[in-house]
Homo-oligomer: A and B are copies of this chain.
Amino acid sequence: MQHETKKIVILGSTGSVGSQALEVIHRFPDQYQIVGLSANQNVSLLLKQAKTFKPKVIAMMDKAACVKVKERLKLLGPRFRKIQVLFGLEGLCQLAELAEADLVLTALVGSVGLKPTAQAIKKSKTIALANKETLVTAGSIIMDLARQHQAFIIPVDSEHSAIYQCLVGEDFASVRNLILTCSGGPFRKASQKFLEKAKAQDALKHPTWNMGQKISIDSATLMNKGLEIIEAHWLFSVDYAHIKVLVHPQSLVHSLVEFQDGSLKAQISQPTMKIPIQFAFSCPARQTNPDIQDLNLESLNQMTFNPPDLKRFPCLRLAREAGQAGGSAPTVLNAANEIAVELFLQDKIKFLQIPKIIQKSLSDHHLLADPTLEQIIQLDTQTKTKIQKQYSKK
């Protein structure tokens, strides 16, 4: 059987998901071909990736990094000199629209993913979505665009991939509840006292997943699960009342779907992002990848599932409330969270200030019921700038 090679653009190829995606693609050279890569400013890793995967186009968010990449490519010989190098958000958007691409993996961190994702959708690309902030901040607009341009959005978040896998072949109208599992993060058992003094390095030690910095902090506050509730709402058109969360520290069951007839389906595997990444590339087919370890069935013993503690982890409650409020509320929630996490990583605020900053931003803002993409982008920037100003003074 002859395979059509799928041509792939990765937005955010030097991050955790981006790098693992390249490892997957490396395993199946007949099936996938990289046509574009992008990074923020990690020049050396991006160049290493470019040497291996020989993309047609590269985009760097950072202008200086873009200049450096161009210079270094020249030294690699004529084949690499031909690679087009773009920069900034504009460059990212151009890359997302690349005519050759069949599939765009959006593995950017934060709301910066919004515009490039929208552009790729407008060109009817299949979107492998690893950037949850895009749907959190502008779910209604993105899903409308996808319907309008008949672009498939395949989730790469392990929880949403689990739900997507459980829903393959099912009627969305048959869904009664989505049950997102949650490892509980590094502070699952932490006392309130500990949380008061928690530092970034504590939060970065995740028990089951090896991830980027931003998502690691979001896992520690459980905001990650909160964002996932909003993401699930948009991806699967399920009301917030029917999206539940269970703390499952073993991270084997990646989420469950409960159907109208009382039957549930669960997706289960080793906690590796390679499975959801690969599934987004190959679905509905599935491929054997020697890099992915089999699940030891004995590990199914001792699984636990418990409700989350909303008192110690108010971010989960805030996210659900923002989702239910709708309109511009999730945009503000997400922007405030992004900047609060940055401030926490820089040791400028304490761990428990993260939810407080978010709560304040939410109560300060005037809800727009049906914001446009421009209004969302503006509100995102405004919210971030306002918090940044306030805390850089201190």
Contact = CB atoms under 8 A, between A and B. Distances in A.
A375 B166 CA distance: 42
Interface in A96-140: none
A260 B256 CA distance: 20
Nearest to A256: B268
A264 interface: yes
A77 interface: no
Contact of A289 (B174, B262, B285, B293): B262
A380 to B, nearest CB: 34
A171 B298 CA distance: 26
Interface in A243-262: 244, 246, 256, 258-262
A289 B295 CA distance: 35
Interface residues of A, number: 48
Interface stretch (A13-21, A48-56, A60-68, A276-284): A276-284
Most buried by B among A264, A270, A295: A264
B305 A288 contact: no
Contacts of A171: 284-286
A287 interface: yes
A367 interface: no
Contacts of A270: 262
A368 interface: no
Given A297-B179, A301-B304, A306-B301, A263 B279 contact: yes
Contacts of A303: 300-301, 303
A150 to B, nearest CB: 19
Interface in A170-186: 170-171, 174, 176, 179
B263 A165 contact: yes
Given A168-B168, A168-B169, A179-B297, A262 B275 contact: yes
A295 B303 CA distance: 17
Nearest to A275: B263
B297 A305 contact: yes
A266 B266 CA distance: 5
A31 interface: no
A267 B265 contact: yes
Contacts of A260: 286-288
A292 interface: yes
Contact of A170 (B169, B179, B244, B266): B169
A279 B262 CA distance: 10
A269 interface: yes
Contacts of A259: 286
B262 A265 contact: no
Nearest to A261: B286
A287 B267 contact: no
Nearest to A269: B263
Nearest to A294: B262
Contacts of A269: 262-264
Given A246-B300, A264-B268, 10 more contacts: A165-B263, A169-B169, A259-B286, A260-B287, A261-B286, A261-B292, A262-B275, A263-B269, A265-B268, A266-B268
Interface of A: 165-166, 168-171, 174, 176, 179, 244, 246, 256, 258-270, 272, 275, 278-279, 282, 284-289, 292-295, 297-298, 300-301, 303-306
26 contacts: A165-B263, A168-B168, A169-B169, A170-B284, A171-B286, A174-B285, A176-B288, A244-B297, A260-B286, A260-B287, A260-B288, A261-B289, A261-B292, A262-B270, A262-B295, A263-B267, A263-B268, A263-B275, A263-B279, A264-B269, A265-B267, A266-B266, A266-B268, A297-B305, A300-B303, A301-B304
Q: Please give me the 4 A-B residue pairs with the lowest Cβ-Cβ distance, nearest first.
A: A169-B169, A168-B169, A174-B286, A262-B292
